[in-house]
Amino acid sequence: PDVDRVLSDAQVVAPVIHTADLHSSARRNSFLYVFDYQTKFGDYPQRQGCIHGEELPYVFGAPLVSGMMHFPRNYTKSEMLLSEATILYWSNFARTGNPNEPQETELVHGFRQEKNRFKNIEWSPYESVHKKYLCLDTKPKLKNHYRAHHMSPFT
């Protein structure tokens, strides 16, 4: 295996999974996500894949205002939609403890029809048995056991 990936798993992924297990075992609202989208016209080559912190422009709405400060300025329509969905998930969770709370149907950029790909996803709470998480991408998916076969040495 790639040494960088092993170090990343040991120093970042395994502790995040362990923390999620502990948090959910205390019967708290726990939701885990993996942001798995690389910005099309971003600063890093496509071959590198998604990097740590790649979701930040989407959380802060950079695609909705054609970029800001250190974030790219050229976003696709799908990236704008991803930003809106990310903001809704985070703000719903901050407000209610549930990222799936009812959302307004009219979005900033009016992507009502495309929004369905996010609206039809029920983000299940994380718990230590099934370890469900949301893979945030322009085509989101609910998955489980993130990188489980790579995590086994660290659990």
At residue 15, φ and ψ (nearest 5 deg) are -65, -35
Residue 108 · residue 64 · CB < 8 Å: yes
Residues above pLDDT 70, as percent of the chain: 83
Q: What is the pLDDT of residues 47-103, one digit of tens each?
A: 667 788 889 999 999 999 876 777 767 889 999 999 999 999 999 999 999 999 765
User: For residue 141, is pLDDT > 70?
Assistant: yes
Q: For residues 124 and 99, what is the distance between their CA atoms, to the nearest angstrom?
A: 9
pLDDT at 113: 47
Q: For residues 119 and 106, what is the distance between their CA atoms, to the nearest angstrom?
A: 12
Indicate the burial class of 120 (C-beta count within 10 angstroms; 0-12, 13-18, 19 or more). Answer: exposed
User: For residue 108, is pLDDT > 60?
Assistant: no
CA distances from 137 to 11, 36, 79, 119 (A): 24, 5, 9, 13
**Would you call 38 helix, strand, or coil by DSSP?**
coil
Q: What is the pLDDT of residues 30-60, one digit of tens each?
A: 999 999 998 887 777 666 677 888 899 999 9
pLDDT at 135: 95
pLDDT at 85: 92
Residue 117 · residue 95 · CB < 8 Å: no
